[in-house]
Amino acid sequence: MNRSDFKGLSVQDRPQILSISINYTIPTNGFTNRNRLTRTLLAGWTVGAINQYSSGQLLLAPGSNNSLSTYLPGFATRQFRNPGVPLYLKDINCGCNDPTKDIVLNPAAWSDQAPGTFGSGTTYYSDFRGQRRPVESLSLGKRFTFRERFAFSIRAEFFNPFNRNESLSDPVTTSPSNPPTRNAQGLLTGGFGYINYTAIASNSVGGTIPSPRTGQIVARFEF
């Protein structure tokens, strides 16, 4: 028995996490030689950004089909990973996959044991992960002061400004022996490595629901 094969990672494993927070105000002293209107329009703007990047969420190793629980109730194992065989048929982070046509996981990367025998106890592998889903937001705002008691503030906020935060779920990791299935229109509906394009995934960083590019403008008058 290879004991190292029975060690596993926590589902919370994130080997790479990067958070970037920016808050910059355009200084007014760079416009001292400009007229008052130019200074009012160009100086004092505040630019902000909050961005988070991390490794993709771990995918479950395929469950074993060896019916071990039939012989030992309460026991279940997972399939062995075949050394040197790629886990993916296509790069899951390339942004070029069509979930209605493309299967992304490689069924040849896994092998099962004979019925009634133990398979692998490893649940997660560090290089077997779903898509990376960055969390990005930008903002731009300024406060205009009129006399002593009056002010006008305006702020624009943009969420997922580059539209890179796809809301597709991670690929299905059921038995590699499950072949792709398609509907009458030829679109994928299941199988090992199938990405369910009708389901929304939780974000890999904050656990929030990804969404397409959105924005809002907030204005406030103070007196």
Amino acid letter, residue 189: T
Cα gap 158→7, rounded to integer Å = 43
User: Is the Cβ–Cβ distance between 172 and 162 less than 8 Å?
Assistant: no
CA of residue 151 relative to chain centroid, distance: 40
Residue 205 pLDDT level (bands cut at 50, 70, 90)? very low
pTM comes to: 0.76
What are the sequence ranges of the domains in the chain?
3-222
Mean pLDDT of 74-84: 84
Is the pLDDT reported for residue 6 higher than 80?
no
Residue 219's SS3 state is strand
Is the pLDDT reported for residue 117 higher than 90?
no
Q: Which of 50, 33, 27, 56 lies closest to 157 in space, CA to CA?
A: 50
